[in-house]
Amino acid sequence: MAHLCGLCLTLRDLHGQNARLVTNYDGLLVSVMTEAQNPSVAPHRQAGRCALRGLRRADVLDSVGEGARLAASVSLVLAAGKVRDHVIDGDGAYARRLVASGAAAVAARWQATADRVGAGIGFDTAVLTDAIGRQAEIERRAGPSLLDVTEPTQTAVSAAFAQTAVLAGRPGNAAALAEAGRHFGRIAHLIDAVEDLPADQANGLYNPLLATGTTRDAARAHCEEALAGLRSAVADLDLDDRALADALLMREVGVAVDQVFTERGGTASSFAVGAMPCLLGVLALQDQPDFGPGSRRRRWRDACCDCSECCDCCECCDCAF
């Protein structure tokens, strides 16, 4: 939760409140791996009360830390790419010109912030942007193999994981982290594909398993192979604090794989479960009026923040609103 809330608040600090909507577990893992290698480069701080935490204070990763900033940069790039894909495909509301135009502008701003933040910590976000573009090309291509389809995700996650070794001052971990990222990227892509399969079949949408003629059993075999590779790579890492990294990558990824292939129709990713309350709470507030006199959002701000020493706003404090 320290990493999850820290990523959320770092996104706010870098790009404003709405950027917090892109908080995700892929970015969180980048933050975790940086701290696991060298806790001194991942400072914590006490965050103020947040309604999404039951108005409790919390220990969170500080946005000045390079791991938190890398996590935010990765999250913004991936979110921008996803929005651009929806605009290009004209999915749902994105088929409306006004919606598409607004969404494209948001994606451009997220991408620009991600590029700036990445450059500030020595990370070239082009590797992620190129992977997203290549993903779309591969999906339009006739007859790709399943591993062709998962390759861009593997490459993107590999680059992000390997960068944590640079930030932590542990260059000897770079190769193992790159390998761990490739395996995790494959698993994440396949879990999404399996979870989305019923809906994609019903709606005639693209799905990697359908496009490549891959059965659920074959997809699970690919996941199990990647899981073994992930665990081997993580075991080879030189870590100062292994507990959380092992809990997430050695245990919880395996739980997610087991669940997606045994619980049809259920949410498999154990990673997503922790993030949902935070994200749903922020999303719900997007429909609330602005901070006008007497508004619900201003009352929440007054209840959980004290901005009297800085300004009459909420961008300066740790309130979720």
What CATH architecture applies to the domain 2-284?
Orthogonal Bundle (1.10)
At 246-263, the pLDDT tens digits run 999 999 999 999 999 987
Residue whose tokens read 């699970």: 220
pLDDT for the residue 264: 56
Classify the C-alpha dihedral 314-81-287-25 as positive or negative. Answer: negative
The pTM score is 0.81
Say if residues 283 and 290 touch (Cβ distance below 8 Å).
no
Distances in Å between the Cα of 292 and the Cα atoms of 284, 288, 301, 311, 317 are 18, 11, 11, 15, 18
pLDDT for the residue 143: 87
**Closest by alpha carbon to 155, among 192, 181, 190, 133?**
181
Cβ partners under 8 Å of residue 163, min gap 6 = 30, 70, 122, 123
Say if residues 201 and 210 touch (Cβ distance below 8 Å).
yes
Say if residues 280 and 257 touch (Cβ distance below 8 Å).
no
Element (H, E) at 138: helix 126-140
Alpha-carbon distance of 83 to 62, in angstroms, equals 28
Strand ranges inside the chain, DSSP E: 44-50, 56-61
N-to-C CA span, the chain: 18
Alpha-carbon distance of 15 to 106, in angstroms, equals 11
At 285-299, the pLDDT tens digits run 333 333 333 333 333
pLDDT for the residue 91: 79
Buried/exposed code over 157-184 (b: 16+ C-beta within 10 A; e: otherwise): bbbbbbbbbbbbebeebeebbbbbbbbb
Mean pLDDT by runs of 10 across the 321 residues of the chain is: 93 89 86 96 92 87 94 94 86 88 93 95 95 90 92 95 97 98 96 94 91 96 97 97 94 94 56 36 34 35 38 42 37
Sequence ranges of the domains in the chain: 2-284
Element (H, E) at 41: none
